[in-house]
């Protein structure tokens, strides 16, 4: 090429780069929908979303129902966001079936949306980022049964009746039971994912059953309630939870809780938001990232002890490999 | 506060109901601070979002006027919404689903009325009890899960428009006109006023307060059935906990609107304004994307402020 | 309307209609115990009975203060949210200062302040108690959510936790506290002038004021007591659960009101006893305990509770008809 042609070519390339970077460093707004303000899991998701947005120069807006887990409220919030027209949405449905019309509204408004945690029963999403409740339940239960040497009496404390996470986790527990015929299931009662309820249910179960060797709790709050009940009655049993909250990790380190299934809210929030931002910037994404099931035990608890506020969101190359495929 | 009372007070400011002032304030503030608040789409949204609460607040006004309360409305709404879902899925017919919802709602309404008027159980207690029964039934018939696969004829109720106006708004306006006519232009309406302020007068007139009271609560139950159809249409599903807590919102809207718990007065327009005030507040805060904890606290502040304001004016 | 003089000036007889009502309820509670003993072999064990008593105590602490409010024909819907905020603040203080005593003080103080604010709204601002405490409930929730930001405070000193899970001479400590407050509450309501005045206010506020009872001050008192008892309950929650979250105590507001009503206290005021609330709390807890022991489907629990509430109040009316 002649000198002039080279100069023109370089100027054009420079101009193109300038325009595209200006378009990219945009400060997009991402609306993040979570279920309630009280469950630390959703706080972790929100912190993760904020971390990802900050790293990528975008902004998050949080939408949480004022009445915890309220379907009508989330419906209204979606309608309001559609009017407001944020650039993208990261969505945890309060109910995976009832929120489908809302997702369809979002689709009709042509706002890209990423599904996180609870897999919605319908609607079009850019991607799904979540953990596999079933595998988490299965692996956690397998760990407990291994510790019990394949035999003993166990009870299951279920979550909220009808919630997808509870259904899948308990299904995992039950399949692990099938693999271990020497383990006997004494009872399976719901604790509503609530600490006090699980405590009282466990207290009552301990009355009807003299010997309980293991307890599978569908989440950490209930597992902690079970531990309080056991300590109060001066009995011991191996207890597992699911969520990987700081409190549970501390308890695992202290030897009070046997293990907890890692339901990494921080990671789900940050990867989900990353995908939303990337799709807005026309960067490649994956249609689904299902985190590998990890059971947090005394042996591997170290990395989980970092508080969520200090954690950093992994870069895309690393994040894209987190899925099970 | 009947229509006549508004004209009696001397101070012109006192003639404007507190809830109207609060509503205007909210609209003014959000008009400036909340992006997108004043758009046609948003106004339609707020109105449509408020229809469910209005359907419950209208009969609740009448009930509170009789010095009563209906705590079971939210749970009955949940149950009727499930009935719409289950029956319409089983039969494919929206009409049958609607009929089932109204029937169940009426049953609970009549049950409430009987417990209160015949057995003499205080309304708070009686409806607290039926709340539990309705909530339990909702969990049992749904087994704790959402009911999906709703025929389109149902969800269309929520999304369809009549001459450009969304159907829910049409239904809400219709309901308001019907209740307004019922309360202020029929004998039944005068009886309802009497049930609150002067129950003996009814007996002297040879009427049965018992039957009238049952009628008022039955009306509440039937409206819960209508609202159930709207709710299922909106969610395109029935859910065993979706409507819980609505009764408190309805009671708050009615009280904010100027209906008193003690005297036998009541103002339907006020209840409607109260419903709008709550809806506008939530919508505005959503558009401003304020932290959810502030949203929660503001709802409480709104309720307290509106009644404090009313109390101030009625004393001066 | 009843005779003015009889309402305000007659001292409450020891064997009054109220006591008879409580007696009937005690019988009902015993019948339930009998049925459960028959249906489940694990019911009548020492451990289970102590469990039931301890579970009932949580309900009782909240419901006892509430009883005084209901006696004045009022209502306090904010008690659950009160427990949550008090627990979260107290939990933070215990963590930061390592002093359980300071934590207890903060919990009681927070509860009392909230109660006083409720009372002020009712007396000074003339807002109906239903609305005032309902608004307060939302404001408290907002404050608590903002303060906790989705986190949990966990891990309290072992000595402090004894308050919730410890035993003294074989009885759980919360049960001792329950019996103590039952005694204090009953003495206050039945034997002090202030208590009598509270009954009078509920029965006939106009007559009460005419006879010189300082209405506002007594109302402030009952709301403050209700709030302080919620603060006390929050301490037991902290000790028992070894943690504080933003929704602690949430699920106990309606059961607390139900316990007060099942116990025979009337929403119209002037009728009821703290002991009745104690029995009401027992009955509710027994039923839940029974359903757990018999592995009854959890969906049936709200239904059963609802039916019991209706039955209890209906029986109350039916048996009082003679008076």
3-state secondary structure A73-104: HHHHHHHHHHHHCCCEEEECCCCCCCCHHHHH
Helices (H), A148-194: 164-179
How far apart CA A234 and CA A223 sit, in angstroms, is 16
Backbone angles phi, psi at C162, to 5 degrees: -60, -30
Q: In Å, how far is A140's CA from the nearest CA of chain B? A: 25
Say which of A71, A76, A101 has its CB closest to residue B49.
A76
Residues of A in contact with C83 (CB under 8 A): none
Question: Rounded CA gap, A112 and A123, in Å?
Answer: 11
Q: Is residue C81 part of a domain?
A: yes
Chain A residues inside the 8 Å CB shell of C47 = 206-207, 233
What pLDDT does A271 receive? Answer: 94
pLDDT in tens, B128-177: 899 989 998 998 899 888 898 888 888 888 888 888 889 999 999 999 99
> What chain B residue is nearest to C266 in terms of C-alpha separation?
B122
Any chain B CB within 8 A of the CB of A70?
yes
List the pLDDT tens digit at each of the 325 positions of chain A: 567 766 656 665 555 555 544 444 578 999 999 999 888 889 999 999 999 999 999 999 999 998 888 999 999 999 999 988 899 999 999 988 889 989 999 999 999 999 999 899 999 999 999 988 999 999 999 999 999 999 999 999 999 877 788 889 999 999 999 999 999 999 888 888 889 889 988 988 888 888 999 999 999 999 999 999 998 888 999 999 998 888 899 999 999 999 999 888 899 999 999 999 999 999 999 999 998 888 999 888 888 888 888 888 888 888 888 886 5
In a domain, C323, yes or no: no
* Among the listed residues C194, C181, C202, C234, the one whose alpha carbon sits nearest the alpha carbon of residue C65: C181
Q: How far is B62 from chain C (nearest CA, A)?
A: 18
Q: Which residue out of A200, A235, A260, A307 would a mutagenesis test of the C interface target, given it has the greatest number of C Cβ atoms within 10 Å?
A: A200
> At A189, phi and psi to the nearest 5?
-125, 145
Q: Closest CB to B237: pick one of A65, A83, A97.
A: A97
B132:C121 CB<8 A: no
Rounded to 5°, angle at Cα A134 from A131 and A137: 100
Cα-only R_g, chain A: 23
Separation between Cα atoms, residue B119 and residue B113, nearest integer Å: 9
State the pairing for strand pair C153-154/C243-244.
antiparallel
Report the 3 state secondary structure along chain C: CCCHHHHHHCCCCCCCHHHHHHHHHHHHHHHHHHHHHHHCCCCCCHHHHHHHHHHHHHHHHHHHHHHHHHHCCCCCCCHHHHHHHHHHHHHHHHHHHCCHHHHHHHHHHHHHHHHHHHHHHHHCCCCCHHHHHHHHHHHHHHHHHHHHCCCCEECCCHHHHHHHHCEECCEEHHHHHHHHHHHHHHHHHHHCHHHHHHHHHHHCHHHHHHCCCCHHHHHHHHHHHHHHHHHHHHHHHHHHHCEECCCCCHHHHHHHHHHHHHCCCCCCCCCCCHHHHHHHHHHHHHHHHHHHHCCCCCCHHHHHHHHHHHHHHHHHHHHHCCC
B235: exposed, middle or buried (C-beta count within 10 Å: 0-12, 13-18, 19+)?
Answer: buried
Task: Judge: C292–A224 Cβ closer than 8 Å, yes or no.
Answer: no
Domain locations in chain A?
Answer: 2-125+265-291, 133-262
CATH number of C15's domain: 1.10.3470
User: Sign of dihedral through CA atoms A168, A169, A174, A177?
Assistant: positive
Chain C environment of A156 (Cβ under 8 Å) = none
Q: Do C306 and B301 touch (CB under 8 A)?
A: no
Cα–Cα distance measured from residue B297 to residue B282, given in angstroms and rounded to the nearest whole number: 11
Distance from CA of A109 to the nearest CA of B (A): 12
Q: How far is B296 from chain A (nearest CA, A)?
A: 5
Task: Answer for the pair C235, C90: CB distance below 8 angstroms, yes or no.
Answer: yes
Give A120's DSSP letter: P
Place of tokens 């600490």: A195
Q: Searching chain C, which residue's CA lies closest to the CA of residue A198?
A: C241
pTM score: 0.86
Q: Find the helix or strand (DSSP H, E) in which A127 lies.
A: strand A127-131
Does any CB of chain C come closer than 8 Å to the CB of residue B112?
Answer: no
Nearest to C142 among B115, B297, B311 (CB): B297
pLDDT in tens, chain C (323 residues): 444 444 444 445 444 667 777 888 888 888 889 988 988 888 888 888 888 998 899 999 999 999 999 999 999 999 999 999 999 999 999 999 989 999 999 999 999 999 999 999 999 988 889 889 999 999 999 999 999 988 889 889 988 988 888 888 888 899 999 999 999 999 998 889 999 999 999 999 889 989 888 999 999 999 999 999 999 999 999 999 999 988 888 888 888 998 998 888 888 888 889 999 999 999 999 988 888 788 777 778 778 888 888 888 887 777 766 54
Inspect the interface and report whether the beta carbons of A208 and C47 lie closer than 8 Å.
no
Residue C60 lies in a domain: yes
What local confidence, expressed as pLDDT, does residue A1 receive?
A: 54
For A179, residues 6+ apart whose C-beta sits below 8 A from its C-beta are: A142, A145
Q: Which two tokens stand for residue B202?
A: 């009814």
Q: Provide the b/e sequence for A236-263 (b: ≥16 CB within 10 Å).
A: ebbbbbbbbbbbbbbbbbeebbbbbbbb
* Among candidate residues C76, C49, C73, C52, the one with its CA nearest the CA of residue C62: C76
What span, in angstroms and rounded, lies between the C-alpha atoms of A256 and A204?
21
Interacting residues of A176 by C-beta distance below 8 A, sequence separation 6+: A137, A138, A141, A142, A145
Question: Smallest Cβ distance to A71: which of B144, B239, B292?
Answer: B239
- C-chain residue closest to B121, CA distance: C314
Candidates B132, B262, B311, partner chain C, best to mutate (most C CBs within 10 A): B132
Determine whether the interchain pair A63/B286 forms a contact, defined as Cβ–Cβ distance below 8 Å: yes
Q: Is A95 on the interface with B (CB under 8 A)?
A: yes
Residue C163, both tokens: 């308050």
In B, what residues contact A, Cβ < 8 A? 35-36, 39, 41-42, 45, 49, 52, 139, 142-146, 148, 155, 231, 234-237, 239-243, 245, 282-283, 286-287, 289, 291-293, 295-296, 299
Number of helical H runs and strand E runs in chain A: 11, 12
Spell out which residues of chain A touch residue C251, defining contact as CB-CB under 8 Å: 194, 196-197
CA distance A70 to A61: 19
Whether the Cβ atoms of residue A219 and residue A237 lie closer than 8 Å to each other = no
Number of domains in chain C: 1
| C9 neighbors C212 (Cβ within 8 angstroms) | no
User: CA triplet A299, A169, A193: central angle to 5 degrees?
Assistant: 90
Q: Quote the CA–CA distance of C172 and C49 in Å, as a whole number.
A: 11
**What is the pLDDT, as a whole number, of residue A303?**
80
Assess whether the region A2-125+265-291 and the region A133-262 belong to the same CATH fold.
yes
- Of residues B41, B145, B236, nearest to A100 (C-beta): B236
Domain enclosing residue B156, as ranges: 49-243
Distance CA C59, CA C161 (A): 18
Structural domain includes residue B105: yes
> Within a domain: residue B230?
yes
Domain span holding position C269: 3-318
Strand pairing of B165-166 and B161-162?
antiparallel
Q: Which residues of C touch A45 (CB under 8 A)?
A: none
Which chain C residues contact residue A307 at CB under 8 A?
none
Determine the residue of chain A that is closest to C54 in CA distance: A200
Put simply, the answer to whether A187 touches C241 (Cβ < 8 Å) is: no
Number of domains in chain B: 1
**Chain C residues within an 8 Å CB radius of A246:** 152
- CA separation for the pair C82, C112 (Å, rounded): 9
C-proximal residues of B, 144-203, CB under 8 Å: 144
Nearest by CB to B300, which of C130, C142, C257?
Answer: C142
The distance of B251 to chain C (nearest Cα, Å) reads: 9
Asked if the Cβ–Cβ distance from A247 to C240 is below 8 Å, we say: no
Two tokens, residue C14: 């020891």
B173 in a structural domain: yes
Question: What is the ipTM for the molecules in this complex?
Answer: 0.85
Q: How far apart are CA C66 and CA B157, in angstroms?
A: 44
Closest residue by Cα to residue A213 from A185, A251, A241:
A185
CB-defined contacts A:C, below 8 A = 88
Across the interface, whether the CB atoms of C303 and B133 are under 8 A apart is answered yes
- Rounded to the nearest 5 percent, the helix, strand and coil shares of chain B are 75, 0, 20
Evaluate whether B36 touches B289 at the Cβ level (below 8 Å): no
Query: Cβ separation of A83 and B155 shorter than 8 Å?
Result: no
CATH number for the region A2-125+265-291 comes to 3.40.50.2300
Please tell me which of the candidates A71, A80, A85 has its beta carbon nearest to residue B286. Answer: A80
**Beta bridge mates, A323:** A291
* Domain A133-262: homologous superfamily in CATH: Response regulator (3.40.50.2300)
Residue C79 lies in a domain: yes
Q: Parallel, antiparallel, or unpaired for β A59-63 and A29-33?
A: parallel
CA distance C64 to C276: 10
User: What is d(CA A36, CA A56) in angstroms, rounded to the nearest whole number?
Assistant: 26
| B65 domain-assigned | yes
Task: Note whether residue C228 is domain-resident.
Answer: yes
Token pair 């109220």 in the structure block, residue: C18
> Under an 8 A CB cutoff, do C154 and A247 touch?
yes
Which residues of chain C does B255 touch, with a Cβ-Cβ cutoff of 8 Å?
A: 128, 130-131
Cα C110–chain centre separation: 17
Helix, strand, or coil here: A109?
A: coil
Residues A75, B234: C-beta atoms closer than 8 Å? yes
Residues in chain A: 325
B146 to A69: CB separation less than 8 angstroms, yes or no: no
Instruction: Tell me how far the alpha carbon of residue C177 is from its chain's centroid.
Output: 13
Q: How far apart, in whole angstroms, are the C-alpha atoms of residue A314 and residue A262?
A: 17
Q: Provide the CA B86 distance to its chain's centre, in angstroms.
A: 24
Cα gap A199→A175, rounded to integer Å: 25
Q: What's the gap in Å between the CA of C70 and the closest CA on chain B? A: 12
Instruction: Determine the Cα–Cα distance for residues A194 and A220; give it in Å rounded to an integer.
Output: 9
* Residue B133 at interface with chain C, using a CB cutoff of 8 Å: yes
Residues of chain B predicted below pLDDT 70:
1-16, 261-265, 313-316
pLDDT value for B105: 97
């Amino acid at each position: 090429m002649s000198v002039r042609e080279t100069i023109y070519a370089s100027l054009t390339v420079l101009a193109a780069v300038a325009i595209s970077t200006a378009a990219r460093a945009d400060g997009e707004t991402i609306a993040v929908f979570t279920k309630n303000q009280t469950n630390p899991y959703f706080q972790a998701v929100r912190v993760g979303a904020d971390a990802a947005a900050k790293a990528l120069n975008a902004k998050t807006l949080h939408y949480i129902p004022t009445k915890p887990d309220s379907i009508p409220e989330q419906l209204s919030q979606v309608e309001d966001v559609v009017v407001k027209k944020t650039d993208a949405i990261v969505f945890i449905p309060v109910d995976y079936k009832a929120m489908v019309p809302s997702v369809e509204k979002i689709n009709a408004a042509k706002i890209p949306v990423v599904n996180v945690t609870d897999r919605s029963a319908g609607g079009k999403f850019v991607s799904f980022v979540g953990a596999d409740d079933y595998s988490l339940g299965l692996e956690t239960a397998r760990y407990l049964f291994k510790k019990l040497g394949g035999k003993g009496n166990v009870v299951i404390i279920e979550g909220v009746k009808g919630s997808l996470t509870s259904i899948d986790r308990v299904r995992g527990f039950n399949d692990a039971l099938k693999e271990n015929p020497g383990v006997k299931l004494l009872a399976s009662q719901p604790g509503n994912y609530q600490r006090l309820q699980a405590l009282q249910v466990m207290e009552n179960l301990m009355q009807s059953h003299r010997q309980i060797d293991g307890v599978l709790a569908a989440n950490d709050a209930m597992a902690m309630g079970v531990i309080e009940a056991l300590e109060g009655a001066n009995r011991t049993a191996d207890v597992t939870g699911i969520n990987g909250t700081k409190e549970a990790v501390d308890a695992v380190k202290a030897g009070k809780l046997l293990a907890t299934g890692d339901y990494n809210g921080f990671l789900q929030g940050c990867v989900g938001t990353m995908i939303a931002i990337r799709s807005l910037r026309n960067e490649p994404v994956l249609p689904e990232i299902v985190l590998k099931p990890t059971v947090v035990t005394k042996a591997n608890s170290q990395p989980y002890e970092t508080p969520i506020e200090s954690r950093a969101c992994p870069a895309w190359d690393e994040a894209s490999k987190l899925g099970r495929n | 506060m009947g229509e006549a009372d508004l004209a009696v007070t001397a101070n012109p400011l006192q003639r404007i109901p507190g809830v109207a002032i609060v509503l205007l304030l909210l609209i003014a503030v959000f008009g400036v601070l909340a992006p997108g608040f004043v758009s046609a789409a948003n106004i339609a949204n707020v109105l449509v979002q408020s229809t469910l609460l209005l359907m419950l607040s209208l009969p609740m006004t009448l009930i509170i006027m009789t010095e009563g309360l209906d705590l079971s409305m939210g749970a009955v709404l949940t149950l009727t919404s499930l009935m719409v879902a289950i029956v319409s899925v089983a039969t494919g017919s929206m009409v049958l689903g609607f009929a089932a919802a109204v029937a169940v709602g009426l049953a609970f309404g009549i049950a409430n009325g009987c417990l209160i008027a015949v057995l003499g159980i205080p309304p708070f207690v009686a409806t607290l009890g039926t709340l539990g029964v309705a909530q339990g039934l909702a969990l049992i018939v749904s087994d704790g899960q959402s009911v999906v696969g709703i025929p389109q004829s149902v969800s269309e109720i929520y999304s369809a428009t009549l001459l450009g106006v969304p159907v829910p708004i049409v239904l809400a306006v219709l309901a308001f006109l019907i209740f307004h006519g019922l309360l202020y232009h029929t004998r039944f309406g005068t009886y309802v006023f009497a049930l609150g302020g002067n129950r003996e007068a009814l007996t002297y007139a040879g009427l049965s307060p018992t039957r009238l009271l049952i009628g008022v609560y039955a009306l509440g139950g039937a409206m819960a059935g209508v609202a159930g159809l709207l709710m299922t249409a909106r969610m395109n599903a029935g859910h065993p906990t979706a409507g819980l807590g609505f009764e408190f919102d309805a009671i708050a809207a009615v009280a904010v609107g100027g209906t008193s718990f003690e005297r036998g007065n009541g103002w339907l327009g006020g209840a409607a304004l109260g419903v709008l005030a709550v809806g506008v507040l939530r919508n505005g805060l959503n558009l401003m994307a304020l932290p959810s904890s502030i949203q929660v606290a503001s709802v409480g502040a709104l309720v307290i402020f509106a009644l404090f304001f009313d109390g101030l004016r009625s004393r001066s | 309307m009843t005779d003015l003089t009889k309402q305000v000036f007659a001292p409450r007889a020891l064997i009054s209609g109220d006591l008879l009502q409580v007696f009937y309820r005690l019988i009902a509670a015993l019948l339930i115990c009998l049925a459960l003993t028959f249906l489940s072999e694990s019911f009548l064990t020492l451990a289970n009975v102590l469990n039931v008593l301890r579970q009932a105590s949580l309900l009782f602490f909240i419901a006892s203060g509430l009883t005084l409010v209901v006696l004045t024909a009022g209502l306090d819907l904010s008690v659950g949210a009160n427990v949550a905020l008090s627990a979260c603040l107290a939990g933070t203080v215990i963590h930061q200062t390592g002093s359980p005593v300071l934590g207890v003080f903060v919990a009681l103080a927070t509860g009392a302040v909230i109660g006083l604010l409720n009372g002020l709204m009712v007396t000074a601002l003339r807002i109906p108690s239903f609305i005032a405490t309902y608004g307060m409930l939302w404001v408290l929730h907002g404050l608590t959510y903002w303060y906790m930001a989705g986190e949990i405070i966990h891990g309290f000193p072992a000595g402090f936790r004894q308050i919730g899970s410890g035993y003294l001479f074989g009885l759980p400590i919360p049960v001792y506290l329950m019996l103590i407050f039952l005694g204090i509450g009953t003495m206050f309501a039945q034997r002090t002038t202030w208590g009598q005045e509270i009954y009078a206010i509920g029965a006939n506020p106009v007559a009460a004021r005419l006879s010189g009872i300082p209405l506002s001050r007594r109302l402030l008192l009952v709301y403050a007591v209700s709030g302080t008892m919620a603060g006390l309950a929050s301490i037991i929650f902290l000790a028992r659960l070894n943690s504080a979250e933003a929704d602690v105590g949430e699920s106990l507001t309606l059961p607390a009101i139900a316990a007060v009503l099942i116990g025979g206290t009337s929403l119209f005021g002037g009728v009821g006893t703290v002991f009745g609330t104690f029995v009401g709390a027992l009955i509710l807890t027994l039923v839940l305990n029974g359903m757990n022991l018999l592995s009854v489907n959890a969906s049936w629990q709200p239904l059963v509770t609802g039916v019991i509430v209706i039955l209890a109040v209906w029986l109350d009316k039916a048996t009082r008809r003679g008076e």
